[in-house]
Structures are given as structure tokens and as C-alpha cells.
């Protein structure tokens, strides 16, 4: 698709350079499939999610839904196309109107859907209850309450239920568990996996957490994005187990090691600098421990090489094992007894 998005620089005495959020991002999501985007904060993954849901414009490239370029569609059909892709926001409290009850929050989009299906108020009421049960909430308890009366996990489930009111074909989950207690995250991730399996909904999962990306997209694809450009792409487990791009290797090397239970990956890689440096043809070259002069003068294309199953944008791809590995269990006192 080659999606491009540049935000203009700010004015003032100092001024700022334009921000190139996306630099020609290509990807596809099959019906019912799962795709994850991982990368550092500010790499452009949230901008990408907003473009897919129609919340942000884009400067170049093509966004096609079922093979149709949305920019070529009439306004009404364009809105209908974007409605098929719903966002699950990072902050469930900010995504909900605090002055409206759960019943009111669900009834507005359901009323629009009822008109399309020629249904009455009883259908809206029944559908509200069905959606709440689908996401693991008790309708009798939740419907009359306001968002502040619910826990963080309940609010996130409500946001998912609201996204399902229009019967979407795809959900875009933008850091959907980052603001939820650790004890509740697995429940939300499990819910997203279950909805994908039961409803056939495609899922685009945006995160900086490798573990959640792996849990959600075990049978899907993983895209690694750096400063608005995809630098590696392939099957999720393959990219995590044997990354070939130095940025992916640095990103995975930053995974904390659980002392006593794991050992650090035997080929961990660290960037030579944590500071944003001047822009070079290979955007990661100033921080890459393996960069050569070629990396500073040529743009590495996204391509296959070296027999690896993933695409990468690196002139010198080398698969490395960098993720933590389980430590062998040592049994104490297991010898023969006399």
C-alpha cells in the first residue's frame, strides 16, 4: 500500500522539522487473520491504526479494503468501509463518555445498526445484553452504570463491546492492555483471541510488548516498524525466535530476563546509542552496531535473502538468538540413596 504520513512542523521561534510518521508502509491482513505491529514509542504504529479506522488522513499510498481504494469511493460508501474497521483504544476511560451510562453508550451505534437491519427497540435491548455477555460482562450489573463505576478491565471489555455493535470485519487494538493491571491483561488478550475465532474478525494488534504480540498473533504475521518504516516482517514465531534485522534484535534483546528461571539469549544485541541521530538512508544505521559505510549511503530495500522466511531491510542480515531462554531445572538431592 505504501502508506505515507507526514505531520507539519510546529511554528514559533525555534520551529521544528516535519515529522515523517509513515514512510511507505506496505502490509496486508487476510480475512479473519492476525497481524501485529511492534516498535518503540513514536515509530508510527498508532498513526497507522488511526489511518485504518478513518481517524487520520494520509498523504500518499493506497488503502484498499476488499480490493477497493477507499479514496475512490463516494463519501457514503467510504464511511461504510471505515465502519467495518473499529478501534479498541489504549485508554478505556478516555474512550468512553463519562456522562452516559453503559446502556446509552451501546444504544447509539446499535440504533444506527437497527435502522440498517429494519429492527426495533427490543432488538437493540437484546443485542446490548448479548454483546456484554460476549465480552464477559453481566448486563444486569453493567447496563445502568457509568464508566467511572467500572474497573479498568470492565471498561476495556465495554470498549470492545461497543466496537462490536456495528458488526465489524476487523478490530484495531492499539496498546489495548497497556493501561490495565497486569493481573487482568491475560483476560483481555484471551477475549480478543476468542472473538477472532468465534466471529471470524481480523485483528491488527499494535504494541511495544513482544510477549503480547506473540500471544495474539501466534498464527499470524509480525511487522517491526522503526521511524515509520517496516524493517522486518514474517511469521510471528519466526521473527521472534530468529530475527535478522539488527533493530529487531535490539528490540528483542531488551526483554527482561527472569532471574533464576531464564538465561539471556546467547546472541543479544544492544544499540551503540540510545539517542536519535541524524537521518541516514538506513534509518537505524547511527544506532546499529553492525553498520557500514554502505548503510549510510544506500537505502536497504525490504526483501528476502539468505534463505530466511521473513522480509527485512538490511544489507547484512544475520539470524541471531536474542530472546531469553528457559533455564534447565537442576534437581537437588536426586542421586541414588544408600
pLDDT tens-digit profile of 103-127? 999 999 999 999 999 999 999 999 9
Give a yes or no: residue 149 inside a domain.
yes
For residue 303, give the nearest of 249, 222, 251, 231 by alpha carbon: 231
Mean pLDDT of 5-15: 73
Q: Are residues 254 and 175 in the same domain?
A: no
For residue 239, give the nearest of 321, 325, 326, 173 by alpha carbon: 321
Q: Which residue has the higher pLDDT, 73 or 329?
A: 73
Domain limit, last residue, from 162, 186, 218: 218
- The confidence score (pLDDT) of residue 12 equals 56
CA–CA separation, 134 and 30 (whole Å): 24
Q: Are residues 167 and 103 in the same domain?
A: yes
**Coil, helix or strand at residue 60:** strand
Chain-centre distance of CA 142, in angstroms?
A: 28
pLDDT-derived band at 338 (thresholds 50, 70, 90) equals very low
For residue 243, give the nearest of 325, 320, 324 by alpha carbon: 320
Q: Are residues 212 and 248 in the same domain?
A: no
**96-100, 117-121, 210-214, 323-327: least confident range:** 323-327
Mean pLDDT of 12-40: 86
Domain limit, last residue, from 202, 218, 234: 218
Q: Are residues 157 and 109 in the same domain?
A: yes
Q: Which residues contact 241 (CB under 8 A, 6 or more apart)?
A: 321, 323
Q: Are residues 209 and 98 in the same domain?
A: yes
Q: Mean pLDDT in the chain?
A: 89
Q: Are residues 283 and 190 in the same domain?
A: no
Strand partners, 232: 224, 312
CATH code of residue 138 = 3.40.50.300
Which sign, positive or negative, has the C-alpha torsion 190, 195, 200, 205?
negative
- The confidence score (pLDDT) of residue 90 equals 84
- The confidence score (pLDDT) of residue 278 equals 74
Give a yes or no: residue 127 inside a domain.
yes
Q: Are residues 281 and 209 in the same domain?
A: no
Q: Are residues 194 and 113 in the same domain?
A: yes
User: What is the count of structural domains for the chain?
Assistant: 2
In terms of residue numbers, what domain contains 283?
242-325
Give a yes or no: residue 6 inside a domain.
no
Q: Are residues 158 and 274 in the same domain?
A: no
Give a yes or no: residue 112 inside a domain.
yes
Give a yes or no: residue 225 inside a domain.
no
Give a yes or no: residue 253 inside a domain.
yes
Q: Are residues 100 and 199 in the same domain?
A: yes
Q: Are residues 184 and 298 in the same domain?
A: no
Whether residue 316 has pLDDT greater than 80: yes
Helix (H) or strand (E) holding 248: helix 246-253
pLDDT-derived band at 276 (thresholds 50, 70, 90) equals low
Most confidently predicted of 181-185, 274-278, 282-286, 334-338: 282-286
Give a yes or no: residue 232 inside a domain.
no
Give a yes or no: residue 160 inside a domain.
yes
3-class secondary structure per residue, 251-279? HHHCCCCCCCCEECCCCCCCCCCCCCCCC
Mean pLDDT of 261-266: 84
Looking at the chain, which runs of residues are DSSP E strands?
3-7, 19-25, 34-38, 64-65, 68-69, 85-88, 170-174, 202-207, 221-226, 229-235, 262-263, 311-312, 325-326
What nine digits make up the cell of 91? Answer: 485508554
Query: DSSP string covering 273-327, please?
Result: --S-----SSTTGGG-TT--GGGGTSPPP-B--TT-SSEE--SS------S-EEP
**11-20, 169-178, 206-215, 293-302: least confident range:** 11-20
Question: Where do we find the cell 537442576?
Answer: 330
What percentage of the chain carries pLDDT values higher than 70? Answer: 94
Q: Are residues 175 and 260 in the same domain?
A: no
Amino acid at each position: 500500500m505504501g502508506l505515507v504520513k507526514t505531520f507539519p512542523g510546529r511554528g514559533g521561534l525555534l520551529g521544528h522539522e516535519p515529522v515523517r510518521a509513515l514512510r511507505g508502509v506496505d502490509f496486508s491482513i487476510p480475512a479473519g487473520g492476525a497481524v501485529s505491529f511492534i516498535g518503540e514509542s513514536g515509530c508510527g504504529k498508532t498513526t497507522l491504526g488511526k489511518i485504518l479506522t478513518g481517524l487520520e488522513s494520509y498523504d500518499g499510498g493506497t488503502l484498499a479494503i476488499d480490493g477497493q481504494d477507499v479514496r475512490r469511493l463516494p463519501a457514503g460508501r467510504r464511511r461504510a468501509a471505515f465502519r467495518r474497521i473499529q478501534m479498541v483504544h489504549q485508554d478505556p476511560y478516555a474512550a468512553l463518555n463519562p456522562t452516559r451510562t453503559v446502556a446509552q453508550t451501546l444504544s447509539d451505534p446499535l440504533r444506527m445498526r437497527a435502522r440498517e437491519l429494519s429492527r426495533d427497540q427490543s432488538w437493540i435491548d437484546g443485542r446490548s445484553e448479548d454483546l456484554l455477555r460476549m465480552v464477559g460482562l453481566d448486563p444486569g450489573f453493567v447496563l445502568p452504570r457509568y464508566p467511572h463505576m467500572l474497573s479498568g478491565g470492565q471498561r476495556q471489555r465495554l470498549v470492545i463491546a461497543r466496537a462490536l455493535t456495528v458488526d465489524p470485519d476487523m478490530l484495531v487494538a492499539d496498546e489495548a492492555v497497556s493501561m490495565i493491571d497486569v493481573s487482568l491483561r491475560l483476560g483481555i488478550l484471551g477475549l480478543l483471541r476468542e472473538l477472532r475465532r468465534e466471529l471470524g474478525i481480523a485483528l491488527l494488534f499494535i504494541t511495544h510488548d513482544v510477549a503480547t504480540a506473540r500471544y495474539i498473533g501466534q498464527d499470524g504475521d509480525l511487522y517491526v516498524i522503526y521511524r515509520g518504516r517496516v524493517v522486518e516482517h514474517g511469521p510471528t514465531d519466526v521473527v521472534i525466535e530468529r530475527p535478522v534485522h539488527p533493530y529487531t534484535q535490539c528490540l528483542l534483546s531488551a526483554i527482561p530476563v527472569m532471574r533464576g528461571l531464564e538465561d539471556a539469549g546467547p546472541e543479544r544485541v544492544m544499540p551503540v546509542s540510545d539517542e536519535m541521530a541524524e537521518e541516514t538512508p538506513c534509518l537505524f544505521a547511527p544506532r546499529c552496531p553492525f553498520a557500514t559505510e554502505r548503510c549510510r549511503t544506500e537505502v536497504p530495500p525490504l526483501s528476502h535473502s539468505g534463505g530466511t522466511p521473513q522480509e527485512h531491510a538490511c544489507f547484512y542480515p544475520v539470524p541471531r538468538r536474542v530472546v531469553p531462554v528457559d533455564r534447565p531445572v537442576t534437581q537437588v538431592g536426586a542421586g541414588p540413596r544408600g
